[in-house]
Structure 1
């Protein structure tokens, strides 16, 4: 297991603009880099203007010509939740503008791999595409775009991934991360870029006087539930702009305006729309949507999101829920095998390799990313997990820890050992790659050698940052509600975590895996706490009376009775 330390967040001097907030909120906001109220904006009117996106003018002119000539459009998406929501957002938006011939293609990860590959371009052309629009991919699709262009098909790339040294020869590119793009919110998800394209197109048509009684102006706010879901699901940093998108989407859902597909996912996940949070997107809805792309075909997830009514949406959502259950069972088995593999190597904690590189021939390619994430969380090390691909290849998925840019690490391995990695791509925290099966051991050695330049003992110690002690009068439903409303919380804008010492009054296991505690504060206040998936080898422990916790403040809503509850993130025995 990884070693873990608790460390309080640094709190810079608090800006006068924050002094209208509760003192605890002032501290929380300041520690997350908030100094101005504008950074806490929630109104759609405060979104960064689409005019700052490089390539947006060329993109809307391309769309206008396509609309005027009713060109056949094929949207090429991706097989994750961001790709699914991007596809559904753009398809729904274009149809609302009056496009009559809009279809979509999503690569099956087991057959075509990622994005607008040559094979996907051939499929799109074969479907009669006159304009291909990529969503959540395309910035690295040099060969796929080139093929489409040779066939006389126009290409509009919308993406958010980091570009390589060369850009595709598309008719227009909209990507906040392309060179010389002044758009300040570089963290847009793919679905955010697709939504921005639609906003820009609406403004362009408005200027042309396009809208009338026969073709009313679309209400793009109706797409915000999809935008919010995809943004959180893709774990992009929630900067001010992304928080506005997520907040606006949550508000629509909470007010009963979710589209049937999103509502069906909420229902099958046993959540309540009126109380939905950003965390529910990430931990309840997105895994069900992602299950389609991991085990089957993401077309099922997109069909759910596009369903015209609740009965049909619920049918699709039930299938997604079944796939997610299957995914969980596959993942659990793979995780047991991975841990057993590590134990067979007889590594003591201090002897664990700096980078864990795992492969088993029968592991499922669609689940290796999740497995890599789970193992990384357990051992706090970069983890690469491989599964068998086609024609003697291994497909790998990597997850990293803060401080180690995994894509850059793979880039250096590729540079120092030419030909060892067939292809790779990704971000700081996650990447994918392909290697030859017979070179796995060589790759493992090369990776470990290169990683030694960057990995330090400090890097391998997990740090749980907290927002300090919470005053006793804040252990209340009212303050927990205030915290919920102060979000949305998420990547790079983390939900508050507090710390404190408590006396144990009661402790017991629920369902043989969750630790339920009744705790007493120093002032005699009693409060419930729960540790999901607790270490049941160490707990319950009747000999322990005092503990130190790192926890999140939550509301337990049982039979319409609300009470405050601590969600345990870390526990230390004090005596």
Structure 2
């Protein structure tokens, strides 16, 4: 049994410089996240780090500028997740704005080509007769594919943000803030952010070459794509990323996003004018990701590149249908994973396995990452989930998800150093990684992964924490504060959405939708009851008369009631 999370309050002493228009509640929330001024709390585009501080930019922009001047065929090779799709669409739209006339998007099919720029994908791209390939959100680990492209006489520019291995691929130029020794102050850019920076630097180079009489096109029109890809990839929202995401959200609020994103917002049942980063993460991104997981991300990229509202609506509805199918597959696989873990005898402590490695020959490789993520959340353990690369294949594709304090890519690198060849390939970040191995190597990998976890994890890391912003006062439980919290972001990784905790009396409760718990609560000092819901919170046991709740304060506009509700993230008996 996994222990209940520990609620830890992250309270900060008031020391910042705030105008009277910022409520005291927001001041302490911002300061608990290290923001002491409005400029730090909600940064603007003028605060962006300069593009020329990114390593490799001079070679990259010179190559792109030469290609545009010579009217060469540029192929933007994306990836089959939301960051890769938005980066691909951004690259195509941005280069066309900057004068490129022959720009084509391309993306691998997960089931056919595998990850990234592979030799198989290069063979298929040959029919397009490219002269310059630009990888977005991948490439730093694609040695064989880049070598195959170079052998055909093509130039290759890698734009990526993933951690490099010991050797770099043989590309003509590489832009990646995470290269060793790269001077860029922030290492948090998503793949779409790296490509946006390349476009900013390219515009400056083209200005210097006299390509524009008026300073060049306004690239801020692309920030809706940057916002969606950045939020979807779960990179930390440092000051630089918050400036990018905030600007993109403002475009979407004004109805200025691309036709494809506007259609996806409508299909999700959201309002563009009230869209938040959470809406991107939980509604828009899954619909784009679903195409790459179960079908072909080419559809998602086509939707993002579409300028016709009617066609975009049709594609968005197809993506919505694929996402519904994905949810069904994910739920079945997660249930099977839970059942498999239930058959594993717990250790003497009664806790779940330290580092579960899950595999089922019937699982879909496009969904194992979601299964690993779900199981990681339930168990608070690093988890790897595997599926055959294709039905009946002996090659397994795995997705790993981790917990704070256990760097998953470094753990895989340590396994690779100790047992070279055990994994065919691997790559990723601190919290998420991917790998490929032969099914015969799975037992050895399980043992190696467990040894890494046993060496690096202690009891403190295995105890999940819920950082809380403390208790809301009775007068703060109102619509005005809920609205202020909604627009105070963007919230996300590294700048988390406010979470509060407190003790409430349970006045009434009921189960809705078979899995969700709807409650009516009352707190000291407030006469009116509070509506609350805990999605997935029904555990077959009625709640006690008083509960300690970790919750978010949200607006409730169902049937135009313009009220508030508490979104419960965890509760226990008070």
Check whether TM > 0.5: yes
Match of 2:511 in 1: 509
Query: 2-side partners of 1:533 and 1:25: how far apart?
Result: 29
Query: Which is worse superposed, 43-52 or 416-425?
Result: 416-425
Match of 2:252 in 1: 253
Query: 1-side partners of 2:552 and 2:568: how far apart?
Result: 7
Query: 2-side partners of 1:312 and 1:85: how far apart?
Result: 18
Q: Are 1:232 and 2:231 matched, yes or no?
A: yes
Match of 2:474 in 1: 472
Q: In 1, are the aligned partners of 2:2 and 2:351 still within 8 Å (CA)?
A: no
Query: 1-side partners of 2:42 and 2:346: how far apart?
Result: 49
Q: In 1, are the aligned partners of 2:382 and 2:400 still within 8 Å (CA)?
A: yes
TM-score (norm 1): 0.95
Unmatched 5+ residue regions in structure 1?
Answer: none
Match of 1:24 in 2: 25
Q: In 1, are the aligned partners of 2:10 and 2:468 still within 8 Å (CA)?
A: no
Match of 2:445 in 1: 443
Match of 2:296 in 1: 297
Query: 2-side partners of 1:558 and 1:443: how far apart?
Result: 49
Query: 2-side partners of 1:5 and 1:162: how far apart?
Result: 31
TM-aligned CA distance change 1:230 to 1:60, over 3 Å: same
C-alpha RMSD of matched pairs (Å): 1.7
Match of 2:538 in 1: 535
Q: In 1, are the aligned partners of 2:368 and 2:387 still within 8 Å (CA)?
A: yes
Q: Write the mapping of 1:418-437 to structure 2, written as runs, cut at 5 A.
A: 418-437=420-439
Q: Write the mapping of 1:40-439 to structure 2, written as runs, cut at 5 A.
A: 40-212=41-213, 217-347=216-346, 350-389=350-389, 391-439=393-441
Query: 2-side partners of 1:44 and 1:455: how far apart?
Result: 40
| SS of corresponding position for 1:366 | coil
Query: 2-side partners of 1:164 and 1:343: how far apart?
Result: 37
Deviations 1:213-258 (A, max 9, x none): 8xx8322121111110000000000001101111111111111112
Query: 2-side partners of 1:529 and 1:561: how far apart?
Result: 15
Query: 2-side partners of 1:184 and 1:12: how far apart?
Result: 26
CA shift for structure 1 position 37: 4.3
Q: In 1, are the aligned partners of 2:372 and 2:384 still within 8 Å (CA)?
A: yes
CA shift for structure 1 position 130: 0.6
Unmatched 5+ residue regions in structure 2?
Answer: none
Aligned residue pairs total 569
Match of 1:546 in 2: 546
Q: In 2, are the aligned partners of 1:79 and 1:293 still within 8 Å (CA)?
A: yes
Query: 2-side partners of 1:327 and 1:286: how far apart?
Result: 13
Q: In 2, are the aligned partners of 1:115 and 1:141 still within 8 Å (CA)?
A: yes
Query: 1-side partners of 2:448 and 2:472: how far apart?
Result: 47
TM-aligned CA distance change 1:414 to 1:569, over 3 Å: same
CA shift for structure 1 position 300: 0.5
Q: In 2, are the aligned partners of 1:138 and 1:158 still within 8 Å (CA)?
A: yes
Deviations 1:244-299 (A, max 9, x none): 11111111111111211001110111111111000000000000000000001100
Deviations 1:68-103 (A, max 9, x none): 110011111100000000000010111122211111
Q: In 2, are the aligned partners of 1:176 and 1:188 still within 8 Å (CA)?
A: yes
CA shift for structure 1 position 41: 4.3
CA shift for structure 1 position 30: 1.9
Query: Which is worse superposed, 439-448 or 118-127?
Result: 118-127
TM-score (norm 2): 0.96
Q: In 2, are the aligned partners of 1:42 and 1:243 still within 8 Å (CA)?
A: yes
Query: 2-side partners of 1:312 and 1:516: how far apart?
Result: 39
Q: Are 1:521 and 2:520 matched, yes or no?
A: no
Query: 1-side partners of 2:81 and 2:170: how far apart?
Result: 25
Query: 2-side partners of 1:231 and 1:287: how far apart?
Result: 14
Q: In 1, are the aligned partners of 2:163 and 2:427 still within 8 Å (CA)?
A: no
Query: Which is worse superposed, 341-350 or 311-320?
Result: 341-350
CA shift for structure 1 position 442: 2.4
TM-aligned CA distance change 1:94 to 1:440, over 3 Å: same
Query: 2-side partners of 1:35 and 1:212: how far apart?
Result: 41
CA shift for structure 1 position 534: 1.2
Query: 2-side partners of 1:48 and 1:242: how far apart?
Result: 10
